[in-house]
Amino acid sequence: MSKQGYRVQNPTTGEIVERYDTATDDDVTKALDNADNAYRSWREKTIEERAQIVKQVAALFTERKTELATIIADEMGKPMAEGVEEAEFCTEIFNYFADNGAELTADQEIKSISGGKAYIERLPVGVLLGIMPWNFPYYQVARFAAPNLVLGNTIVLKHAEICPRSALAIQQIMTDAGVPEGVYNNVFASHDQIATIIADPRVQGVSLTGSERAGSIIGALAGEHLTKAVLELGGSDPYVILDTDNVKEAAQTAWATRMYNTGQACNSNKRMIVMEDIYDEFVDELTQLARKMKPGSPSDEPGEVFTPLSSRSAAETLDQQVKQAVSEGATLLAGGELADGEGAYYSPAVITGVTPDMAVYSEELFGPVAVVYKVSSDEEALTLANDTPFGLGGAVFSTDKERAEKVARRLDVGMANVNTPAGEGAELPFGGVKRSGFGRELGPLGMEEFVNKRMYYVAD
């Protein structure tokens, strides 16, 4: 819990617009009691009955998309167009699990050699704790909540301290959609209260999306209390370009991908690995694109405008990382300027010349910074791509699809992509390996995490 607590803090100025009270211990106890009590009746509904309610949740995300986008523009600076897109994606996610939940949780018969009939049933487990980040305030909640609500679990949700309005907006959607009281419970909990929640024996699982540091703390608490955990942590995804028919277009796609959400995405293309024969032209185009960027507000039309990072502290951290890289010998070709004052603006940057002995080589740059590496062979590209403590996603591009696939299949990541920055959709699982965490969200695997895969045997 930050010293400033739950608040709406305008990232363009640093001004605290509104403060919210942290939950009392009684509030936390009530939320746990409500979630546990609600579970007993929620799990007894048919999956079709739960899905019908979740479909109403889906509809409200799109119906309220402009209002929802405005809220997160104020809270963490997300461009309005991206905020609307995020709300619409939530509709897709809730609909996916509502429409496919029955099939995804259907009994699976096991071939028995002992006589009788054996099945695997997929049943809910109980109360779950979700600890969500600020960078995608709706989407992150949707991918955790949607499968578990359909499955029959109940949720206690602790959102980021700078996202109280969006947290309350989600709670209102749940209420207005007809989600029964106690099934979804927003709580403005402190860090100490999070530990209390995880220690409660009624809590059967915890899902965190956040930093490595937060993942280590929550993972330790979950382990201490034998509680199932899903951790989606940082990433420093490789973005490998082996060849292209149009270098400028490839650079433009790479730049647009890196600038999405002002570079604040776990699976953004933070390390661009480019073959030497197209490297110079690629870097030149990136540099020109970076130099054209001007500071703007979330309400501006997308294009050559960058919005602030989520907070001044986030911008200062990024600035320190870039300055250290330059002091250690990296080359800053464009941008990299921290705005004066209390706003969170940081001009989009392009960096080259990063080597393994530099701190930034093994760090995540969570903001609008493109780091570009030059390689001379597919094997060198692969070695560099895998030389990271992270393992979230990665992408490989080539006009020869088989060549790209050959490299992509050897990436040490949870999500490997060929000729696209990222495969995205409610049906596609999301998650990583190594220090990017463990467990999966979305798709069929998203319903496999917090579930009792019960063996059910009926003798002859």
Which residues are catalytic, by number?
232, 266
Phi/psi of residue 386, nearest 5 degrees: -90, -5
Q: Which of 152, 184, 149, 176 is nearest to 34 (CA)?
A: 184
Q: Are 414 and 431 in contact (CB under 8 A)?
A: yes
Tokens matching residue 446 = 């998203």
Q: Which of 197, 145, 180 is nearest to 40 (CA)?
A: 180
Bridge-based pairing of strands 127-131 and 154-158 is: parallel
Q: Are 334 and 306 in contact (CB under 8 A)?
A: no
What CA–CA distance (Å, rounded) separates 440 from 310? 26
Q: With the CA atoms of 192, 198, 202 and 204 taken in that order, what torsion angle do they form, in degrees rounded to the nearest 10?
A: 160
Residues contacting residue 339 through CB under 8 Å, at least 6 positions apart: 295, 315, 345, 346, 347
Tell me which H or E stretch contains 255: helix 247-259
Vertex 381 angle, CA 375 and 387, to 5°: 115
- Neighbour-count burial of 402, counting CB atoms closer than 10 A to its CB (0-12 exposed, 13-18 middle, 19+ buried): exposed
Residues contacting residue 201 through CB under 8 Å, at least 6 positions apart: 225
What CA–CA distance (Å, rounded) separates 134 from 403? 38
Residue holding tokens 């959709």? Answer: 425
Looking at the DSSP assignment, which residues form a beta bridge with residue 375? Answer: 275
